[in-house]
Amino acid sequence: MKSISFILNGEPVVVNAYPIERLLDVLRTRFSLTSIKEGCGEGECGACAVFLNGELVTSCLIPIGQVAGQRIDTLESHRYQKIKERLEKAFLVHNASQCGFCTPGMMMAALELARKIENPTRQQIKEAISGNLCRCTGYVRIVEAIFEALNKE
Ligand code: FES
Ligand code: FES
């Protein structure tokens, strides 16, 4: 085991872990950050998305050793509070979350999109969530929810 330090949601943290342990597991089990889900475990479904130094990554593919000295942000971060509230409201209104398993990953993709493009089109939203799988709702309601949340009247 090694002592690994990094910045998590704006706070310095230290964890004792094997460097090969997956970031996904460390964040869920040691920090109780349960917005991060394990879907495929192979980098294909987007359910485990986090920001690593501001870039969207799949935490199931990142060994914790790689995160030493880096910055990790998850959906729990207060940094995204305002846009998160808009997303939550829109997902509720459009009934875009059924089992909800994919929802945090979808929201992370939406946060990434909001940072890059103001008032995105439905096509841009579809492209932004193309790495996220939903097994329940299909994508129409999800796209509508994100469209509403990210487009300012
Ligand atoms: S669990 Fe990481 S991408 Fe599916
Ligand atoms: S709401 Fe169930 S996987 Fe998307």
Ligand found nearest the CA of 60:
1
- 57 and 16: one domain? yes
> What CATH number corresponds to the domain at position 51?
3.10.20.30
pTM as predicted: 0.96
Same domain for 104 and 141, yes or no, is yes
- The domain total for the chain is 2
Tell me the C-alpha distance between 48 and 50, whole Å.
7
Residues 92 and 68 in one domain: no
Distance 101 CA to ligand 2 centre (A): 5
Which atom of ligand 2 is found nearest the CA of 97? 1
**Residue 131 near ligand 1, beta carbon < 6 Å:** no
How many other C-beta atoms can be found within 10 angstroms of the C-beta atom of residue 139?
18
Does 37 share its domain with 100?
Answer: no
Residue ending a domain, choose from 73, 90, 120 = 73
Q: How far, in Å, CA of 149 to CA of 91, rounded?
A: 9
Considering the domain architecture, whether residues 98 and 130 belong to the same structural domain is answered as yes
CATH value at residue 136: 1.10.150.120
Looking at the structure, do residues 50 and 106 belong to the same domain, yes or no?
no
Residues 1-50: tens digit of each pLDDT: 999 999 999 999 999 999 999 999 999 999 999 999 999 999 999 999 99
CB atoms within 10 A of CB 51: 22
Q: How many other β-carbons are positioned within 10 Å of the β-carbon of residue 71?
A: 14
Domain residues for 106? Answer: 78-150
Phi/psi at 66 (nearest 5 deg)?
-75, -15
Residues 51 and 93 in one domain: no
Q: Alpha-carbon distance 102 to 84, whole Å?
A: 15
Shared-domain flag, residues 102 and 52: no
Domain endpoint, select from 73, 103, 123: 73
Separation of CA 153 and ligand 2 centre (Å): 28
- For 39-91, the pLDDT digits (tens) are 999 999 999 999 999 999 999 999 999 999 999 999 999 999 999 999 999 99
Q: If you take atom 4 of ligand 2, which residue's CA is the nearest one?
A: 134
The Å distance, Cα 98 to ligand 1 centre, comes to 19
